[in-house]
A and B are shown apart, each in its own frame.
Chain A
Amino acid sequence: MYFWSYPRIYFIIMDSTILEKKLADQEKQLQEMKSKLEKVTDFIENATVPLHWINDEGIVTWANQAELNLLGYTKEEYIGQSIIQFHKDKKGIEELLFRLKNNEIVNNHASQLITKDGQFKDVLISSSSLFQNGKFIHTRCFTRDISDIRREEEQKTKERQNARKSIEESEIRSRLAIEAAEMGAFDWDLSNQVFFSSQRLIEIFGFTDPATSHANLINTFHPDDKPLRDKAVADCLSKGSLVYEARVIWPDKSIHWVRVYGKITYDEKDQPKRMFGIVTDITEQKEAELILKEDARKIRIILESLPQMAWTAYPNGAVNYFSKNWYEYTGQQPEEELLSSWNAVWHPDLTSYAKEKWAEAIRTGMPYEVENLAKRAADGIYRWMSIKAVPLKNAEGDILMWAGSITDIHEQKTFAEKLEQKISERTKQLKQSQMDMAELNNVLAEKNFELEKQNSELTSFTYIASHDLQEPIRKIHTFSQLILEREQDQLSKMATDYLNRITSASIRMKQLVEAFLNYSRIGNASIILEPTDLNVILQETIKSLAESIQEKQAVIEVGELPIIQGSSIQLQQLFINLIGNAIKYCKPNVCPIVEVQAHKLSDKEIGITGSEATDYWNIRIQDNGIGFDQEHAAKIFEVFQRLHNKNEYAGTGIGLSICKKIVLAHKGYITATGDLGVGSVFMIYFPVKI
């Protein structure tokens, strides 16, 4: 505060208005100064820059709000306190105060303040001292909070350190990689031509001495490859990188292949500064490549010589060669792109399948085989081809290439097709004739059935007819008889005679009908075959024929007869007829002798073929009767066939037919042998097993 004394009053008798005006002016000035003071005070108090005063004892005598805010203290906590306690470096601040007291100006003294919550704040203190009359009043301190700046600086430093570390690490990694790959590395300073190379690189060039010079290395390049190398290096300067493969000749004269990579770095003026690079020994790969190329060449020579079309493909399945024959057949031009050349030739229908199969073959490494149609250039016709390919593998089993062939199988395929067609035709024909056969069989079976039906109808017809015929016959006979009996006396001789004839005719008719009935009965029902003892049958027969045996004084000699499968009723009938005949057809005045013998014979002995049985019982009935002419041997078995008229010997002419029918029903055979005037022999054959 400035006090200024009131100027001496020498205008006492002045005009009051002038006095008033002066007062007013002074009042106004006072107000202005007050206002200015307020503004300045406000400015200082509320400035965002921390300000404070410190007296000679180091006590804070005043601080503005910014200072308080910086440290987080209230006025009471800060003002009146020793400044030292608020600094970390207490000694430093004491020193500072000392200097300030000596009227030194402090600019940007770095220090760390302790905030209310115990944190350290990096600050810069600038201070100047106020002296009055040579006395130190206080320092005017101005604090600059640089904690943010400090932090940024620390951050930047850390980043720089990290960056440096990662560069170091990647350097190490590259080095390791290069070492692991057994690659040699080099670093060529283009400005001073200083060439650094790793030990490995030296070795790749065939040397061992680490001090081997750049020139020495370059000299190892094969004379044929040197130009290539030189050009690559020259180009690199403009391109920025190089890569080449070349041969080097080692000191021991062995040839090795190297691959060199190089990269240029530029200076600030964009001039080439250094070349970094790596070198790899690729001798092994190169040699393998050459072998492969040589193999491929040899294979191609062989493929060219084949009559088929041939092709080769890379391991990935892409075709890389066709033989001459392919171009000839397909009409494709050698200059055309191989894949499109391939695709243009095949029939679209089968191609997607073929492609699938090829993809599978590539994937599995298994041999490839499909059939497809290829268009022939000469006539535009599609012909069947068999396309095959096999993989060529190295010792490790990796596929190096595919070798394929295309074989024209058109003839075989169409032939096979034609054959198949023919076969199916034949099969159809066969089926047809089988069906026809079946049809015929059916027809046959039908006809058979009809025939059987007819037969059975016939048989039953015969049966019924015979049966029904018996009625009237009986009546004729009976009534004729009755007349004869009852009207005996009334009848004339002629009438009697005629009636007698009628009677005997009716008897004869009855016999015929009965015989016929018998005959038909044999075909009618299916006979039940049981074991039948022929000895018993014969005894019964003899009993039945007792009357005529007695009458004719016949002798029946019967040997041991077998038991056969048969119907006793029918067999009875059979023997009654045969032995009855033998007795009936005896020589006059000669006692009939009938012999019945049995023998077992094989079918071969008898002369029977095609029968189911192999052995037969032969029953032989021999008589000493009148015999017959062998000429009629077959006839006598026919129905109603008689060799004599009824006056000579009675008979129906059915007896032997019945015998034949019975024998046939027993699956046997009957034959007759006659010797006129000597006798007859009837042979019956019964199968031993039916």
Chain B
Amino acid sequence: MNYTSLLLVDDDPDDLLLFSEALNEIEAHVSYESVPDGIEALKKLTSATHIPQLIFLDLNMPIMHGFECLKRIKANELLQKIPIIIFTTSSSPLDINTAKHLGASAYLCKPMHFNHLCEHLKSILSGVVELTSGFKIIDPI
């Protein structure tokens, strides 16, 4: 399916910039919002009139760790169904496992190359990467 609205939960301004740059690069027609931490994310999610179709969730964030946020989102009946992609630097198998265990839909390591990021976003947003059936580790290119 085509995702048209996104939420990015990441505290790193550089990563936020790169993300929007990538979106521009691939000419994705999506509305996207970003919040710098889990608390803000939950606030937005629970109060927004408009719920995003897809969430990109960083792990190493201040105040609330990404996994805590993931847990809480998944605990919320209204938000449970939103596919969440863990978007992080960490390639630790432990983190990958935890993400899977906590109900994330996919795991994407932040790539070294900018165009790799573009490629990944393209395939995700166009629905090439199946996000609703089981857990996917998005392969590095």
Chain A positions within 8 Å of B, measured between CB atoms, are 467, 470-471, 473-475, 477-479, 481-482, 485, 507, 510, 517, 521, 525, 569
Contacts and interface: CB of A to CB of B under 8 A. Distances in A.
B21 interface: yes
B112 interface: yes
A478 B114 contact: yes
A55 to B, nearest CB: 162
A155 to B, nearest CB: 132
Contacts of A473: 112
B89 A485 contact: no
Interface centre among B89, B90, B112, B114 (most CB of A within 10 A): B112
A471 B12 contact: yes
A546 to B, nearest CB: 15
Contacts of A479: 14
Nearest to B116: A478
A485 B114 contact: yes
A23 to B, nearest CB: 175
A456 to B, nearest CB: 15
B112 A507 contact: yes
Interface string B86-100: 000111111000000
Interface in B100-127: 110-114, 117
A482 B116 CA distance: 12
Contacts of A477: 112-113
Contacts of A569: 93
Given A478-B112, A478-B113, A525-B94, 10 more contacts: A467-B89, A467-B90, A473-B112, A474-B89, A475-B14, A478-B114, A479-B14, A481-B113, A482-B114, A510-B112
A481 B114 contact: yes
A521 to B, nearest CB: 8
20 contacts: A467-B90, A467-B92, A470-B89, A471-B12, A471-B89, A473-B112, A474-B110, A474-B111, A474-B112, A475-B14, A477-B112, A477-B113, A478-B113, A478-B117, A479-B14, A481-B113, A482-B114, A485-B114, A510-B112, A517-B91
B113 to A, nearest CB: 6
B84 to A, nearest CB: 21
- Chain B interface residue bracket vs A: 10 to 19
A179 B97 CA distance: 123
A517 to B, nearest CB: 8
A478 B18 contact: yes
Contacts of B92: 467, 521
A-B pairs, top 3 by smallest CB distance, nearest first, are A478-B114, A470-B89, A477-B112
Nearest to A480: B114
Contacts of B91: 517
A470 B21 CA distance: 21
A477 B117 CA distance: 13
Contacts of A467: 89-90, 92
Contacts of B117: 478
Nearest to A484: B114
Nearest to A474: B112
Contacts of A481: 113-114
Nearest to B93: A569
Interface centre among A473, A475, A477, A510 (most CB of B within 10 A): A475
Contacts of A475: 14
Contacts of A471: 12, 89
B140 to A, nearest CB: 12
A72 to B, nearest CB: 139
Nearest to B94: A525
B141 to A, nearest CB: 14
Interface in B4-40: 12, 14, 18, 21
Contacts of B18: 478
A487 to B, nearest CB: 13
A666 B90 CA distance: 26
A525 B93 CA distance: 11
Interface centre among A467, A477, A521, A569 (most CB of B within 10 A): A467
Contacts of B14: 475, 479
